[in-house]
Chains A and B, each alone.
Chain A
Amino acid sequence: MKRGRAEGRTIKPRRNSERVASPAERAQITLTINGTRHTADVEVRKTLADFIREEAGLTGTHLGCEHGVCGACTIHLDGQAVRSCLMFAVQAQGAEITTVESLGTPERLHPLQEAFRDHHGLQCGFCTPGILMSTLAFLRESPHPSDEQIREVLSGNLCRCTGYQGIVAAVRDAARRMRGTA
């Protein structure tokens, strides 16, 4: 007897776990990013990170892991540092978002960016936007940080290039510079 492909095995359609595909639900949202209002019709499953990059075109916010671990996507939501990959854009309805693009311009860097440049706080730069946004929120709350506090806050952002020494030095120096300008 020839061995048929379906021998002894019928493939049943899965019942409970498989839902009938339905068109993705959408919602109209309005939010502010770096002072500019954005109104858009988005799929409710779109993350805030994807909204910032794809709809608003602000690609400074990077996506590394998309599950909260690497910190590359860190932005400010109503002034607080959060992971933009762990929120949906619909949840930011009415919110004020700031991203790394709000910091400085190539001609006039933010003191935090200057400190990173001067201390080699970046190499490839992939982690840098998230690190800048994390440390900016941190330095506003703790203008006189200890090295231990700096290391503690940086533990929420992964960098695969620098070995962190330059980053710690940059944050330490940025605290000094920002105290001077504030």
Chain B
Amino acid sequence: MKPAPFKYVAPESLDDAVALLRRHGQEGKILAGGQSLVPLLNMRLARPAVIIDLNRLRPLDYIKNGKDVRIGAMTRQRVAELSPLVRQKLPLLAEALRYVGHPQIRNRGTIGGSIAHADPSAELPAVLAALEGKVVLQNGRGTRTLGADAFFLTYLTTALQPDELLVEVRIPAHDHLGTAFLEVARRHGDYALVGVAAVVDWNGGRARDVRLTFTGVGGVPVRVAEAEAAATGRPLTDAVLAEVSRIVSAGLDPEADIHASAEYRKHVAGVLAERALRVAVTRAQRRERDTR
């Protein structure tokens, strides 16, 4: 099996990459880890005229500490997963990465590629949305920074313009929060049927702030505000969690596909929300104890 013929360029500087994108516009396609694009090329579902390979672009491979941890787009998923900085400051990202395909996929797949690809069942877009992180996009004229809700538009579609490169992902450090990522998939390493990222700001026996973001239930990561509100400011007893679970199931409107019915996805989302909140709160309480 072979892709249709293409021209191949592998820029070594960001300026060259941006210039190439500008020149080739619609006909050019960025190749990052290739773990989503190369299958499409092999099956000839994509036939770009020019492949712009970023794998020689060392300047986009970094993880920098700060209030927002900044991750270069070409950082391999596996490198981020094993990074001590990510494990300490971005525990939700570290946890979610373990659900992304298999180690053999994460050895090549990149952080920027997963976000740019915007698969509706992918884990990292949900993490970005749950933590209200940002992406930095660059073209020949400059850069712009977008939040998750402005970036993810619908299934496999983002605000990226044909001449734009995703250069950096910024995720707020959240080692002071309780977080959990859970998903149900047909097999380990498959895309999620449903996944949830739970973020809890726990204080004095109550949740000061709660975020519940789902993947696999719509074209973009989905937050359920009503369920978040129901969990906020209250001790998370079994009764409250059952209520949150009900609101989640009722509030989502997923599509059915060959992998699961809409009803099943709604049910699983509710169950996962409850479980993830329990784990997130336990972790927040442990942190509270440890820092006292």
Contacts and interface: CB of A to CB of B under 8 A. Distances in A.
**Is chain B found bound to chain A in the same assembly?**
yes
Interface of A: 17, 19, 21-25, 27, 43-47, 50, 66-68, 71, 74, 77, 80-83, 85-88, 90-91, 134, 137-138, 151-153, 155-156
B142 interface: no
Interface residue tally of chain B, by bracket? 20 to 34
Contact of B4 (A45, A50, A85): A45
Contacts of B154: none
Given A19-B49, A21-B5, A44-B6, A91 B39 contact: no
A45 B3 contact: yes
Main SS of chain B's interface residues? loop
B287 interface: no
B108 A82 contact: yes
A45 B43 contact: no
B8 A81 contact: no
Nearest to A83: B104
A81 B34 contact: no
10 contacts: A23-B5, A44-B8, A46-B2, A80-B78, A80-B107, A81-B107, A82-B107, A83-B35, A86-B108, A134-B103
Contact of B103 (A19, A67, A138): A138
Interface in B151-197: 187-189
A81 B103 contact: yes
Given A25-B7, A45-B8, A156-B103, 9 more contacts: A24-B5, A45-B5, A68-B105, A77-B107, A85-B38, A86-B39, A86-B108, A87-B108, A155-B187
Determine which residue in A90, A134, A153, A156 has the highest number of CB atoms from chain B within 10 A of its CB, and name it: A156
B53 interface: yes
Main SS of chain A's interface residues? mixed
B2 A156 contact: no
A77 to B, nearest CB: 8
Contacts of B35: 68, 83, 86
A155 B2 CA distance: 26
B1 interface: yes
Nearest to A22: B5
Contacts of B42: 47, 66-67, 85
Given A67-B39, A68-B39, A156-B189, A90 B103 contact: no
B285 interface: no
A91 B55 contact: yes
A110 B214 CA distance: 45
Contacts of A67: 38-39, 42-43
A45 B38 contact: no
B104 A134 contact: yes
Nearest to B189: A155
Contacts of A80: 78, 107
A69 to B, nearest CB: 8
A155 B188 contact: yes
Given A19-B49, A68-B39, A85-B42, A74 B104 contact: yes
A50 B53 CA distance: 19
B208 interface: no
B102 interface: yes
B11 interface: no
B101 interface: yes
Nearest to A158: B187
A85 B39 CA distance: 9
Given A86-B39, A91-B55, A81 B4 contact: no
